[in-house]
Structure 1
Amino acid sequence: MDDDVLSNDYYSRMLDAVKSAKFCNILTHFDYGVRRLNLSVNAFRLIAEPYLVNIFKNIIEKNIAFELNAKSFIKYGNKELYEYAIPLYISLGGKLFTLGSDAHVAEDYELGFKEMKNLLIKNGIFELAVYQKQQLIMVNI
């Protein structure tokens, strides 16, 4: 598939899912659909931003946290996409962040957490959203 077609398909589906979700705590894999594409941040922004603005507005309204995904951040080298998306989310009023290992093997557990925490701190975020029995708990980074 063409990068534009694939990206538009992925983000339109994500927007539909977020809008229709009756109950959800965390938006994960914000970049999964483009994870293996070779998109610059600017190309990503041009394709995804119209969708992301709507997606982020919806999750903010529903108090759904935004996940930083370690596999994407570290293993797929998409740190720059997070450096773009985090300030966008914050600019729309977003405050809830989580970290996800996406660990399919034990040695990947908490992979990149230090780097992701540092990026959040750089953006003025000092707490993470943690859910226990579906209840939001804010913890210091």
Structure 2
Amino acid sequence: MFDTHVHTSISDDCKMPIEDAIKRAKGLGIGMVVTDHMDINYPKDNLFVFDVDDFFNRYEKYRSDKVLLGIEMGLRPDAIDENRNLEKNYDFDYVLGSIHVVNSVDIYEERFYLEKSKKEAYVEYFKAMLDGVRENEFIDSLAHIDYIGRYAKYDDTEIYYDDYREVIDEILREVAMREKSLEINTRRLGNRSTLNELFNTYKRFYELGGKTVTIGSDGHTTESIGVNFKEAMELASSCNLRPVYYKRRKCEYI
């Protein structure tokens, strides 16, 4: 088993040294993939970017069969060429694509939701994700499709698949058509109602031709590494999806 989404102190929102992450993963008997944030052209200068040469200079010595070096790339329309160049020119094991910023606003921020209904905000988010998948064909897996459910500023932040079926299906179809993986992000799986709603999305991914999932905690602390993995594996199994990880950009079955 691999936790395929782990951050370290290279990410601007994380203070965890890689040594602590490795120790935690080893204690759990799992492998891990470092996926520090690279969100080129993030709205605030010098945030969520890092020196990739320095990254490899510092972390290559830790790479092994159980510690892999990846990257989490922000799928932004103004960073496609830069992302592609990084993917081509550096020896990452894994490229994880994600959406954090929509129309130049981080969806963590309250201002993204001002004067928008929940449906308007969520559809805007999903459309940005759809564009990101279409424009960045080189990613290996699409991260946390349910990310907006963590931070939306509504009384009920849950993502009900039936409310967004049309645009979610487009995303899932694109990921499946490209034979990419869809991440099961474990951050929200401790909530049974969330798990039930996500089942609808991942089942539909399988129905549209999806075959594989990566499982990642999005860990920023040692305590979060490997969290809710039992639930993630059960979700994958119930949807007939195969958990995988990537090594040297090749899909490895768990």
Regarding TM over 0.5, the answer is: yes
CA RMSD of aligned residues (A): 2.0
- Residue from 57, 65, 89 that aligns with 2:173: 57
Q: Give how far 1:104 is off.
A: 1.0
Correspondences of 1:73-112 after superposition (within 5 Å): 73-74=189-190, 78-112=194-228
Q: Give how far 1:80 is off.
A: 2.2
Percent sequence identity over matched residues? 21
> Rg: which structure is higher?
2
CA distance in 1, matches of 2:194, 2:150: 7
Map of 1:69 onto structure 2: 185
CA distance in 2, matches of 1:66, 1:100: 11
CA distance in 2, matches of 1:137, 1:129: 5
CA distance in 2, matches of 1:121, 1:86: 10
- Residue from 15, 20, 25 that aligns with 2:135: 20
Q: Give how far 1:62 is off.
A: 1.1
Map of 1:34 onto structure 2: 149
Q: Give how far 1:70 is off.
A: 0.9
Aligned partners of 1:68 and 1:82 also within 8 Å: no
CA distance in 1, matches of 2:147, 2:249: 24
Aligned partners of 2:149 and 2:158 also within 8 Å: no
Deviations 1:57-95 (A, max 9, x none): 111111210111111222796212311111111111111
Aligned partners of 1:35 and 1:78 also within 8 Å: no
TM-score, normalised to structure 2's length? 0.50
Unaligned runs of 5+ in 1: none
Aligned partners of 2:217 and 2:224 also within 8 Å: yes
Tell me the secondary structure at the aligned position of residue 22 of structure 1: coil
Aligned residue pairs total 136
Aligned partners of 1:24 and 1:64 also within 8 Å: yes
Aligned partners of 2:189 and 2:195 also within 8 Å: yes
CA distance in 2, matches of 1:96, 1:70: 16
Q: Give how far 1:116 is off.
A: 1.1
In structure 1, what residue type is equivalent to 2:194? Answer: N
Tell me the secondary structure at the aligned position of residue 164 of structure 2: helix
Tell me the secondary structure at the aligned position of residue 78 of structure 1: helix
